[in-house]
């Protein structure tokens, strides 16, 4: 089992930036992919971005591509999500998750989840 702890959320204005962090511990070697998801009130959890540990390959949801950047630090077992040009529709609880399935964007493929961090973007 992998334990994940997110941090970095907060209240910002439209156009601002935030960087989320996700620290992993436990059986981190068992995970091939780290991903970020988000869930707004009354909506389903949706994929935001993912990174493959093996080659550093990244992939994004269309709604954030060009504004968000996912990166990882293997030495620190930490994944980051740099969010620029934030919009009110980015408001959600953001979750970090780990999966063994390369390239996955489906929540059900991710077996370990953090507790989430709130991001609120005001207009």
| Residue 94: count of CB within 10 angstroms of its CB | 23
| One-character DSSP codes across 102-118 | TT---GGGEEEE---EE
Q: 101-110, pLDDT tens digit by residue?
A: 999 999 999 9
pLDDT in tens, 64-92: 999 999 999 988 999 999 999 999 999 99
- Over residues 4-59, the pLDDT tens digits come to 999 999 999 999 999 999 999 887 766 789 999 999 999 999 999 999 988 889 99
Strands 10-13 and 117-122 turn out to be parallel
Spatial separation of the C-alpha atoms in residues 42 and 72, rounded to whole Å: 30
Pair of tokens at residue 43: 């909506």
């Amino acid at each position: 089992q992998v334990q994940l702890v997110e941090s970095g959320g907060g209240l910002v204005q439209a156009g601002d930036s935030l960087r989320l962090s996700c620290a992993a511990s436990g059986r981190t070697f068992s995970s091939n992919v780290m991903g970020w998801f988000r869930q707004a009130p009354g909506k389903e959890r949706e994929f935001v971005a993912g990174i493959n540990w093996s080659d550093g390959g990244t992939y994004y949801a269309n709604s954030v591509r060009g504004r968000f950047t996912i990166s990882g630090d293997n030495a620190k077992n930490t994944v980051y999500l740099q969010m620029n040009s934030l919009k009110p529709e980015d408001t959600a609880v953001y979750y970090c998750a780990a999966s063994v399935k390369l390239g996955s964007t489906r929540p059900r493929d991710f077996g370990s989840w953090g507790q989430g961090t709130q991001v609120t973007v005001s207009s």
